[in-house]
Amino acid sequence: MAMAMAAAAVGVGTVRIAVSAAVHNSSRVTQLCSSFTGLSVSSWKKRNGAGMRLCIASFPTTTTKRPVGFRIVAKIKTHKASAKRFKVTGSGKIVRRQAGRAHLLRKKTTKRKNRLSGKIQVNRSDYDNVIGALPYLKVNRSS
């Protein structure tokens, strides 16, 4: 029994097909050859005779590539003391509490208490320091 081998390039790998010339039924070879580019029945018939039948087919079609090295990156830690002092508004601005209101005693007037009660925006020059301490803040630098 005569055996013939052929190879066809498919995508990344190659497909090797072993056919037997003993049986005269070429429909499977025709069907198989038509599914691969670069492999036609006429080239089979020229090389191996008219009657061919598929005997063994092994398909190592894709070569498994190792994934490109994934770097494991640790999560950045949030500085908790800064998280208590700075907040982000809905528009993405960083705000902080007004200084000088921590120890409210009787000597402070109502006018002064009200002035110190509000939140103020952090200066642009301090944005880098605050973002460094709080890496997961959703800050809009353009606002």
**CATH for 85:** 4.10.410.60
Tokens 């494991």 belong to: 72
Cβ pair 143, 93 in contact under 8 A: yes
- C-alpha distances (whole Å) from 121 to each of 41, 67, 88, 91, 130 are 77, 46, 10, 12, 12
pLDDT at 89: 93
Q: Render pLDDT for 31-44 as a digit per residue (tens, 0 to 9).
A: 655 555 555 555 55
> Residue 92 — pLDDT band, cuts 50, 70, 90?
very high
pTM surpassing 0.75? no
Q: Are residues 11 and 54 in the same domain?
A: yes
Measure CA 100 to chain center: 48
Full residue range of the structural domain in which residue 37 is found: 3-58
